[in-house]
């Protein structure tokens, strides 16, 4: 019983993601509002790119979405047309949100500690309150 109490008492939230200054250098990313929430939309210049939601956290009345964008494998040939990818988030439509992203090599681990950079911000859906 004592050990369980100590383990529960020692657990805390994961550390905040590292944020770097600078500009996002990956494919265009936006946040699309749906009746059920918000979706990250990436328009990749070709096949092989991947978008993944790493984390969503609430900060000062808005929710920040942290995503990883993985580059295509350079050893594979992909179609050279715009490919739209979507990733659902847990951000409600009525909540403002910020998007932070990092671009990883195709073979990087998802747990890579690369820093995120600010991409864009999306206001809450008009007419709804938080």
Tell me the two tokens of residue 32. 């699309």
Average pLDDT over residues 6-19: 68
Average pLDDT over residues 23-48: 91
Mean pLDDT of the chain: 85
The pLDDT value recorded for residue 57 is: 92
Best CA proximity match to 129, nearest among 32, 57, 61: 61
Given a cut of 60, is residue 3 above it in pLDDT? Answer: no
Between residues 125 and 20, which one has the greater pLDDT? 20
The pLDDT value recorded for residue 12 is: 65
Does the predicted model carry a pTM greater than 0.85? no
Burial of 26 (0-12, 13-18, 19+ CB in 10 A): buried
Give the CA distances from residue 111 to residues 23, 38, 48, 54, in Å, rounded to whole numbers and listed in that order: 22, 24, 20, 9
Given a cut of 70, is residue 126 above it in pLDDT? Answer: no
Q: Residue ranges of the domains in the chain?
A: 22-122
The pLDDT value recorded for residue 130 is: 45
Cβ contacts of residue 54 below 8 Å, gap of 6+? 17, 66, 67, 68, 110
Given a cut of 80, is residue 43 above it in pLDDT? Answer: yes
């Amino acid at each position: 019983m004592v050990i369980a109490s100590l383990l529960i008492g020692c657990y805390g939230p994961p550390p905040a993601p590292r944020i770097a200054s600078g500009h996002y250098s990956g494919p265009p990313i936006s946040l699309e509002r749906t009746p059920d929430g918000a979706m990250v939309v990436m328009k990749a210049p070709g096949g092989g790119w991947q978008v993944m939601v790493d984390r969503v956290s609430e900060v000062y009345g808005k929710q920040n979405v942290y995503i990883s964008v993985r580059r295509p494998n350079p050893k594979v040939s992909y179609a050279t047309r715009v490919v739209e990818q979507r990733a659902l988030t847990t951000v409600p439509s009525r909540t403002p949100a910020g998007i932070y992203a990092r671009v990883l090599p195709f073979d990087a681990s998802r747990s890579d500690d690369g820093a995120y950079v600010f991409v864009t911000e999306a206001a809450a859906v008009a007419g709804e309150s938080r």
